Amino acid sequence: MELQNRDGRSIRAAIDFLVPYAAGKKAWDYQEIAGFHADAMTPTLLRAAKAYHDPKYAALAQQIGSGRDDVEPCCFATRFRFGIRSLT
């Protein structure tokens, strides 16, 4: 079930807004406090994949987390917690 307010804002819409930036398809052109770190979205993307039954979020989580040793433990813990057996 997708919850949204009267003007259409929702958690999924916020995640979808960030997806092109995390995927590297758009440059972050907003004010930065500490920089945009796409890999910080990995747990959120894994949760979105489970909640919305949409494998595109899991695929992006795997893409931005690949080659990063420090991301894998976080991904594993999140996958275990939310019962995600496969990233694809």
- Residue pLDDT, tens place only, 45-69: 999 999 999 999 999 999 987 755 5
Tell me, yes or no, if the pTM score tops 0.85.
Answer: no
| Exposure of 36 in the CB half-sphere (CA atoms within 13 A) | 16
Coil, helix or strand for 5?
coil
pLDDT at residue 29 in the model: 85
Lookup: tokens for 46: 């894994």
How confident is the model over 69-83, as a mean pLDDT?
A: 54
- Residue pLDDT, tens place only, 11-39: 999 999 999 999 999 988 888 888 778 88
Dihedral over Cα of 44, 45, 46, 48: its sign: positive
CB 15: neighbour CB atoms within 10 A? Answer: 20
Query: What is the domain partition of the chain in residue ranges?
Result: 38-88
Amino acid at 34: A
